[in-house]
Amino acid sequence: MRILVTGVTGQVGSALATKLAAFGTVVPAARTVLDLTQPQDIGPRLDEISPDVIVNPAAYTAVDRAEDERDLAFVVNAEAPRALAQWAARRRVPLLHFSTDYVYSGHGSVAWKECDETGPLSVYGASKLAGEAAIREAAGQHLIVRTSWVYAPTGSNFLRTIMRLAGEREELRIVADQIGAPTSAAIIADALAAFFASAGGLPSAIERTGGLVHVAAAGSTSWHGFATAIVEGLRARGVPLKVERLLPIGTADYPTKAQRPINSRLDLSKLEQVLGRSTPDWSAGLATVLDDLVASGI
Ligand SMILES: NC(=O)c1ccc[n+]([C@@H]2O[C@H](COP(=O)([O-])OP(=O)(O)OC[C@H]3O[C@@H](n4cnc5c(N)ncnc54)[C@H](OP(=O)(O)O)[C@@H]3O)[C@@H](O)[C@H]2O)c1
């Protein structure tokens, strides 16, 4: 089985490329192989590659910059997935695609279910939602995975930013009123691998999810809670840090170009039904990543 994986230089794509190698030949499709700003070229490229499964974690992920680059965000996050999905539907090839908690409005404090109404607050969220719709329209075999607050040992993410700032500054001010589940790319890759490995394989997992599923770490916290756990986790592992105070602040005190949901909690009951188990708690996912970072000298 030839498994085409996009976004292999990114957090999720890189974890998936490693993990899915157990189920076939991974064909890594970085930007140089498949440029998602050129949707018209996607079909012909896929004809050449001829994958049996397409896994698409690649995306335009610069949430604030998207407010100024609307067209580009929609091409990469909606038109390119449309082209992938149309090719996949024609060839009867399953498509695994990734989406985000930012498709929700963030109102209330109850965890969002897959069937809840969406209401993106940002261009990025709207572009990802348009990608979901385009994939559904193509009407092929597909699974859309909505995840949240992704981080990995490498790349540009909240964990890496806090690690750097905690080494440089005595005081950090961190947003404490946005709630979600920090999710390591490894947790996502493990869940996706479990879909491939499940009885009946990927087609059966896709059928049982009905084409849309939340995949995230269990539990929830705020960005402030996550930052505190990162700092405490690093100190507990003997990493010297300069930071002395982590001050909780409100979203209103940290203006950003794009508006983020206050409530990013994702209900995971559908995932738990399909997997037959829950995902690790966000704090356990963090502990694993910190152990790996410290073991590799950071
Ligand atoms: N990060 C989060 O907190 C988060 C939260 C919820 C959902 N998600 C979703 O989860 C998925 C994976 O996110 P991630 O955190 O792994 O993203 P990431 O680390 O930012 O990686 C994005 C990947 O997409 C590739 N890409 C961007 N534009 C491209 C283009 N025009 N053509 C081809 N490839 C392109 C990038 O390649 P280059 O290296 O060449 O730029 C990179 O490999 C995405 O669908 C994202 O929307 C992410």
60, 104, 124, 151: the active-site residue: 124
Residue 26 Cα to ligand 1 midpoint, Å, equals 18
In this structure, which residue's CA is closest to atom 7 in ligand 1?
A: 100
Letter for the amino acid at 1?
M
Topology of the domain covering 2-155+183-217+265-278: Rossmann fold (3.40.50)
* Chain position carrying tokens 């490498």: 154
Report pLDDT for 288. Answer: 98
Residue 103 Cα to ligand 1 midpoint, Å, equals 16
Report pLDDT for 125. Answer: 98
Report pLDDT for 98. Answer: 98
The answer to whether 124 is a known catalytic residue is yes
Percent helix, strand and coil across the chain, each rounded to 5?
45, 15, 35
**Domain spans of the chain?**
2-155+183-217+265-278
Report pLDDT for 52. Answer: 98
Backbone angles phi, psi at 224, to 5 degrees: -65, -45
Strand segments (E) across 112-217: 142-147, 150-151, 171-175, 179-180, 183-184, 212-214
Q: How far is CA 21 from the centre of its chain?
A: 19
Report pLDDT for 298. Answer: 86
Mutate which of 32, 54, 61, 256 to test ligand 1's pocket (most atoms within 8 Å of Cβ)? 61
Residue by residue, pLDDT tens for the chain (298 residues) are 999 999 999 999 999 999 999 999 999 999 999 999 999 999 999 999 999 999 999 999 999 999 999 999 999 999 999 999 999 999 999 999 999 999 999 999 999 999 999 999 999 999 999 999 999 999 999 999 999 999 999 999 999 999 999 999 999 999 999 999 999 999 999 999 999 999 899 999 999 999 999 999 999 999 999 999 999 999 999 999 999 999 999 999 999 999 999 999 999 999 999 999 999 999 999 999 999 999 998 8
Q: How far apart are CA 76 and CA 222, in angstroms?
A: 29
Letter for the amino acid at 8?
V
* Chain position carrying tokens 């490693």: 18
Atom of ligand 1 nearest to the CA of 188: 10
In this structure, which residue's CA is closest to atom 18 in ligand 1?
A: 10
Report pLDDT for 12. Answer: 98
